[in-house]
Amino acid sequence: MKLKFLGIYPNTPDDGSPTIWLDEDTGDLVIQSYKADEATLRTCQEVGSVPGHTTDVPEHETVIRLPANMLQFLPRPDSEVHGDSNS
């Protein structure tokens, strides 16, 4: 796995800070962030997603809360960043 550091929560202390990496082999994002609290998990389950899809979170998954100011580090397709020249 080849990870590329993308960003860390601005003005962060020395430990325990939301961080984002890009797996350059797969394009996946690897995210360290805050675990969602029980109220957030319940709300996610109440809202649901695709009709008929379970709202349970499997053991191999988790729900995280990514601070809004971390969105600046998420990679976007070039057309979103530079404008689509075909429009």
Q: What does the pLDDT look like over 26-68, one tens digit per residue?
A: 999 999 999 999 999 999 999 988 888 888 888 999 999 999 9
E-state strands within the chain: 3-8, 19-23, 29-32, 34-35, 64-65
Asked if residue 80 is part of any domain, the answer here is: no
| 18 CB burial (10 A radius; 0-12, 13-18, 19+) | buried
- Within a domain: 79: no
The predicted structure's pLDDT at residue 87: 44
Rounded to the nearest integer, the mean pLDDT of the chain is 86
Number of domains in the chain: 1
Q: Is the pLDDT score of 84 beyond 60?
A: no
Q: Give residue 24's domain range.
A: 3-49+57-73
More confident residue, 86 or 37: 37
